[in-house]
């Protein structure tokens, strides 16, 4: 024979279950978060490509708790002289913000800045002649700015 819980007891049990579920800590980020972060912030074109694919599908990475916010190139133009630096700046912001949150920014800053410069230089490979020289010089200026002030 089945017994039924009185309605008040059932409601109390449900409230207790709900309270425990709400009080439980949020799921921790996957253990490989540092590895993924590192793989997306290297100087190589493949690292940039992997980050770009994830950037386009941020929801798939929500369990990792990455900070995807960006102000792009901050107070500098995102597309100086028509050179499209905006996404390079976004990846640089991603690295800065996530390594700061992880408490390991100073150990990674130089590599993040070098990756930024590599990304900018890859943008410049689209050009030739004087435009290429101008792009490379602008990339160098942006790189020097983040090294000094980033």
Catalytic residue positions? Answer: 92
How does pLDDT run across 22-42, given as a tens digit for each residue? 333 456 789 999 999 999 999
> How far apart, in whole angstroms, are the C-alpha atoms of residue 139 and residue 102?
28
Residue 148: pLDDT band with limits 50, 70, 90: very high
Mean pLDDT of the chain: 87
Q: Which domain CATH number covers 87?
A: 1.20.90.10
Confidence (pLDDT) at 27: 66
Q: Does some domain include residue 82?
A: yes
Contact (CB, 8 A) for 139 and 117: yes
Q: Does some domain include residue 109?
A: yes
As for how many domains the chain has, the answer is: 1
What's the token pair of residue 131? 């435009």
Q: Does some domain include residue 22?
A: no
> How far apart, in whole angstroms, are the C-alpha atoms of residue 81 and residue 120?
13
Q: Does some domain include residue 47?
A: no
| DSSP code of residue 19 | H
Per DSSP, the three-state class of 143 is helix
């Amino acid at each position: 024979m089945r017994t039924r819980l009185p309605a008040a007891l059932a409601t109390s049990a449900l409230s207790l279950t709900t309270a425990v579920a709400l009080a439980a800590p949020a799921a921790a980020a996957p253990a490989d978060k540092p590895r993924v972060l590192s793989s997306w912030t290297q100087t190589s074109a493949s690292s940039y490509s992997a980050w770009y694919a994830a950037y386009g599908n941020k929801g798939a990475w929500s369990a990792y708790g990455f900070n995807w916010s960006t102000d792009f190139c901050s107070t500098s133009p995102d597309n100086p002289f028509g050179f499209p630096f905006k996404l390079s700046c976004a990846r640089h912001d991603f690295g800065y913000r996530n390594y700061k949150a992880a408490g390991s920014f100073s150990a990674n800053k130089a590599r993040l800045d070098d990756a930024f410069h590599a990304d900018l230089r890859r943008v410049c490979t689209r050009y030739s002649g004087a435009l290429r020289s101008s792009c490379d010089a602008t990339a160098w200026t942006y790189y020097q700015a983040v090294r000094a002030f980033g």
